Structure 1
Amino acid sequence: MTTNSAAHRGATTPTTDADGITETTVDGVRTVLAPRSGLLTAGLLFRVGRADETLATSGITHLVEHLALHRHGLGDLHYNGATAATYTHFHVTGTPADVVEYLNGVCAALRDLPLDRLETEKEILRTEAAGKGHGPGRAAALWRYGSRSYGLVGYAEAGLHRLTADDVRAWARTRFTAENAVLWITGDSVPEGLDLTLPTGAWHPAPAATSALPTTPAYFQGDDGGVVLTAVVPRSTEANLFAEVLGKELFRALRQKGGYSYTATADYCSRDTDSATVTAIADALPQKQDALVGAFIDVFAKLRAGRIDQADLDAVRASALAQFDTPELAACMLPGHALNLLLRHRNLTAAEARAEIEAVTVADLHRVARAVWDDALMQVPGRGVDWAGLAAAPTESSEIVTGRRYSAVEEGNGALLLGRDGISLVAPRGQVTIRYAEHADAGLPGRRPPPGGRRRLHPHHRADPVPHHRGRTLRAGPRGPGRRRDPHAAARSGPHPAAAQDHAEGRTRHRPAHLVHRTAVGPRHPRGAGGRLHRAARLRGDPDLRGRGRPRRGRAVPARVPDPLGGVRDPLGPSPAPPQAGPELNRTPKGRLPIRGAGPSRAYGVRRTAYGVRRTVSGCAASPRP
């Protein structure tokens, strides 16, 4: 293998550390090299991942990755791509020519994405998500961070359906740049012909973590049938070794002694530049879950008390030190070295890492154990664990906005409050508040809201007090019997916050934003008895009425009702012929009030609801009036 000239490739003077890892620059991309026998393996890392997205744009990074790899779909290379929370990785193994072909193709695709396949790749991503299992920490990320930053890994890629070609092109142009990338190659030099030309840009630091937990330690109830505990701690050698000791304690207590679990282990994983996540998991059968929770908490109580066996520390230390005896150590360290370089985290030489491992004591592990418990978020399969000192994670907002109140009429499940700075939904199961400022259409340069001005708001914390049975139209203006819209209300209250954004975007609305908030809903039904008869005809399959909406909740016509002329009839069946005048015409069932006037009568019943008395049609002695 030979290298191209430095002038042509933009390479800087290479530097080599004590372990034999060489650092240079190729086409503006920081590159690290370390020799290894056999085939070459290379990886191109970008500092962009799911945590950089918003809920409205979630899935865009994964979509760029798929589009960049499309042209390699029919090749024989051993390659892949992966999108994580903080980085995207393209890697390949093969001959130098194979590596050059793959990396050149990825960079060429990133410069000019095959956007003609945009909708096809969206469908492929949805298919991938439908068949992919979720890790044990997925729900914990959602509860800890909410619907932002690192919590997005707990959500589906909900933004795929609204992403346009311009959105994807802009994301690739600003995030997949030379300054935001690091290349690693298991070779002593850069292969001939490598072209890493990428758009110029800036390095993006890892996003700051958000929080949906007012206090820790905390717990939430999950449906996975096991226990999962996560905690965020500073990245350190002590925390890494503690996770190994914790795994040994859990296996010993929950599987070997208690017999509760098949899987009982712990893991340490870096989250960003300065923080890492410690995860402990254990499973159990339903009849043993309560005992599992108690034994799991007992293990942490033991470690927090400082009862850590020196033998366990010595065992995990020996295992950690053994990795430095691996042949071609520098090449094995290369992927981690490149990721630290990408995140701007300090890289240790092998000698420095060995010294830190040897210096860890039981007292260090004791300190980490207390830090893990103080930041713990625990998923439990059944009852709460308040008795262990953990607080329940919030499932509702702690405050509501001040504004106009609109009570739910049809379903009787609460009220909607519209304020100048947000919206609140109050229901028997809790309350949810969403601030407009936290839900701007951010994440993409020049992004515009959906047509018609509709926005779908989602709380950042795990809260859902109202079941989403169907679409709703929530009118913020005074609508109802005897009430008219006030044309001067907007002038008295001043401009709504959304009006300034609409003006800046050059968009107008057919109705002022402070008067209406729309969600998906079917056509409205005609009011009064005629409307109810209209629905009855539609339900029985009238071809002229089929598909024109659906009856409002709580107003279904009963299966069989008394007929004003005696007997019973099916309200969805054909109406009887108009009766002849006679003494039986004015006979009505008990409790029915005929409409006064000449001609055939209409019978109405009285229906009591949570909001008053409502008349409902229950029978008809004649055909519906036109």
Structure 2
Amino acid sequence: MIQQLETDGVPTLLAPTGGPMRAGLTFRVGTADETLARHGITHLLEHLALAPLGTADYHFNGATAPIFTTFHMQGSEQDIATFLTAVCANLTDLPTARLEVEKDILRTEWSSQGGAASDDIALWRYGARDFGLSSYPEWGLARLTAEDLREWAARWFTRENAVLWIAGDRVPEGLRLTLPSGTRQPVPAASSALPTTPAYFVEGSRAVVLDAVVRRRAAVGVFADVLERELFRALRQDAGLSYTTTTGYEPRGDGQVTLRAIADALAEKQDAVLGGFIDVLAKLRVGRIEQSDLDAAVAKRVEMLATAEVDAARLPDYAVNLLTGQRNLSLDEHRAELKAVTLAELHEVAQEVCASALLMVPDGTRADWAGFTPAPTSSETVAAGTTHHSRDDDGRLLIGPEAVSYLGGGGRLTVTYAECAVMLAWPDGARQLIAPDAIVLHIEPTLFDVHPAAMNVIDAGVPADRRVAMPPRDPESIPQPRAVREIREYLARPKRAWWEVLLMVLSGLATLAVGGFTLLLVIGMFIDPELDGENWMWGVVAVGWLLTVILALPIVLLTRGRRR
């Protein structure tokens, strides 16, 4: 049973465990509370709070998620008291001397991450804001200052915005949570970049991924298990098309749940996997759900609630529910809700899933044939401004006092300055503007007939707090017009040494002389029958042609070496 008490003004959850004590301090703040121009501030603050503890002997860690940040460890009672006390002290008095070091560590962490198949789904659903920020790099790190971090900590890392949870029989002696006073922060409202659902977008990954948002209730977890069983049966067991077929769900903190499902595919089987995946969804949407699947899913979840460590295992989720104002169930209530799930409820969840679905499909496939609308990849509006033509194609850049647009083969892209989520600025003049709906407009001044004064209009229009300075680029990596590229490629070709040129000229002249003489001799032999009758003449011709080939060899060898 989970007990609720208080430690230094912080709500505290306590549950028994048969193993070593473990504990965590969870705050209601995450990446969804940031803006794209300051994305990374919560993660950086988490690292700074843990940095001075890096040489400790006990195991600890931190995590930053969309709606919460947590510091947790496992160890002895004294170790836990020391760890959490130190974390609170560091949050109150940040060790900002390591600010630039931790920024570099976070950049390295991002660059070394392997991309998951579903990484980009959040930005397609939500755009470049709130819950969509988890799809973006932490561009805000560069401009963050120690004062920015102190203000962020004072607002979000407070007693009222935290929950302490402990898997153990008591609160460790000596634990002090010296956090400032504040207020409980609500979960941000979720935005949307999708005009309509169900929708789909094309991604290079060899997988089909479903993302849906449904109301939170016990039937959602049961439905996720039923969906996984159906996908496994249809795509792996029966058709042998997929190896991985998994589902999962995560509460969003606002009464909604994000449900995900994935099925991988070989390149030559992508169409078949997509078709089978959609068939499974259609089957569940019309209510063709087996009672045996429902019973198996419920039994599996009820069995998980019967383990000795179930209350200790529920503590992190229990804490997040408490922070977000969601209802926490007792074990008996949880079992009762699971056992009360009916086929009709699963059918209702299936309809919600299909109605809100966002489908990621592999390159070369489509899902509009199944009623899915393509997610928007272009803007509806066009900026009113001065036209600047591309130096390479028919593209046009329109720079106005309120917005900038690009019109080209890929459609129209527009970003208004006032609503710009972030503008990345390179020292060489390149700019990348990202709109709240995740539309990206990248401007390379070298590719347009644009004057620096026109670029100044963009810089002046975008609010200063949305601008992020990017590091200098290698000059060779800056895109250039086709004509400049061709000249560079020509100039970059290795030049021949003087002796090679001389040798090729002499070889060519000698080849022409000997070859020409031999050719005239052959023609003469055909014209004058008397010469043709002289056997020694044929010997001269053979020697002439042999010398011609030998004299031409330097040209052939030097030319072939050049190509290699």
Superposition TM-score, scaled by structure 2 size: 0.78
Matches within 5 A, 1:111-150: 111-150=92-131
The residue type paired with residue 459 of structure 1 is A
- 2: CA distance between counterparts of 1:347 and 1:196? 24
Higher alpha-carbon Rg: 2
Contact 2:422 2:435 in 1 (8 A): no
1:458 alignment partner in structure 2? 434
* Larger RCO, structure (CA 8 Å, separation 6 or more): 2
Query: Aligned letter for 1:351?
Result: D
Match of residue 272 from structure 2? 291
Bigger shift: residues 354-363 or 199-208: 199-208
How many percent identity over aligned positions? 48
Q: Which amino acid aligns with 2:371?
A: G
1:515-570: CA deviation from partner (whole Å, max 9, x where unpaired)? xxx99999xxxxxxxxxxxxxxxxxxxxxxx99x9986535686999xxxxxxxx9
Residues 324-343 of structure 1 mapped to structure 2, 5 A cutoff: 324-343=305-324
- Are the aligned partners of 1:400 and 1:431 in contact in 2 as well (CA < 8 Å)? yes
Match of 2:350, SS state, is helix
Is the 2:15–2:166 contact (alpha carbons within 8 Å) kept by the matching residues of 1? yes
* Deviation for aligned residue 1:380: 0.8
Equivalent position to 2:262, from 277, 281, 293: 281
From 93, 99, 108, the counterpart of 2:89: 108
Secondary structure in 1 matching 2:12: strand
Q: CA deviation at 1:499?
A: 8.2
CA distance in 1, matches of 2:57, 2:154: 29
Instruction: Compute the displacement of 1:358 (Å).
Output: 1.1
2:70 to 89, 104, 107: 89
Q: Secondary structure at the match of 2:272?
A: helix
Q: Distance in 1 between matches of 2:393 and 2:386?
A: 14
SS at match of 2:160: helix
Shift of 1:409: 4.8
**Residue in 2 aligned with 1:13?**
none
Q: Which residue of 2 aligns with 1:618?
A: none
Given that 2:432 and 2:443 are in contact with CA atoms closer than 8 Å, whether structure 1 keeps it comes out as no
Q: Is the 8 A contact 1:395 1:461 kept in 2?
A: no
Relative to structure 1, the CA distance from residue 500 to residue 365 in structure 2 (aligned partners, 3 Å threshold; closer, same or farther) is: closer
Report the structure, 1 or 2, having the larger helix content: 2
Corresponding position of 1:376: 357
Cα distance in 2 between the residues matched to 1:335 and 1:559: 58
Partner residue in 1 for 2:509? none
In structure 2, the partner of 1:578 is none
- 1:90 and 1:412, CA in 2 relative to 1: closer, same or farther beyond 3 A? same
Deviations 1:556-589 (A, max 9, x none): 686999xxxxxxxx9xx9xxxxxxxxxxxxxxxx
> C-alpha displacement at 1:410, in angstroms?
2.8
How far the C-alpha of 1:166 sits from its partner, in A, is: 1.9
Q: Rate the CA distance shift 1:251–1:560 in 2: closer, same or farther, 3 A.
A: closer
1:243 to 1:199, Cα distance in 2 relative to 1, 3 A: same
Task: Look up the match of 1:554.
Answer: 483
Report the counterpart of residue 367 of structure 1 in structure 2. 348
Contact 2:385 2:401 in 1 (8 A): no
Map 1:79-228 onto structure 2 (within 5 A): 79-228=60-209
Match of 1:390 in 2: 372
Deviation at 1:466, TM superposition (A): 6.1
How many Å apart are 1:475 and its aligned residue? 4.1
Change (3 A) 1:497 1:63: closer
- Which ranges in structure 2 are unaligned for 5 or more consecutive residues? 499-564
Q: Distance in 1 between matches of 2:369 and 2:196?
A: 16
Counterpart Cα distance in 1 of 2:315 and 2:489: 77
Aligned partners of 2:134, 2:83: CA distance in 1, in Å?
A: 28
Alignment partner, residue 519 of structure 2 = none
What letter matches 1:86 in structure 2? I
* Other structure's SS at 1:32 match: strand
Note the C-alpha offset of 1:152: 0.8
For 1:550 and 1:208, the matched residues in 2 are separated by 39
Instruction: Choose 179-188 or 212-221, whichever is displaced more.
Output: 179-188
CA distance in 2: counterparts of 1:193 and 1:356, whole angstroms: 40
SS at the partner of 2:154? helix
TM-score, normalization by structure 1: 0.71
1:52 pairs, out of 10, 16, 33, with 33
CA RMSD across the alignment: 3.5
The offset of 1:394, in angstroms, is 0.7
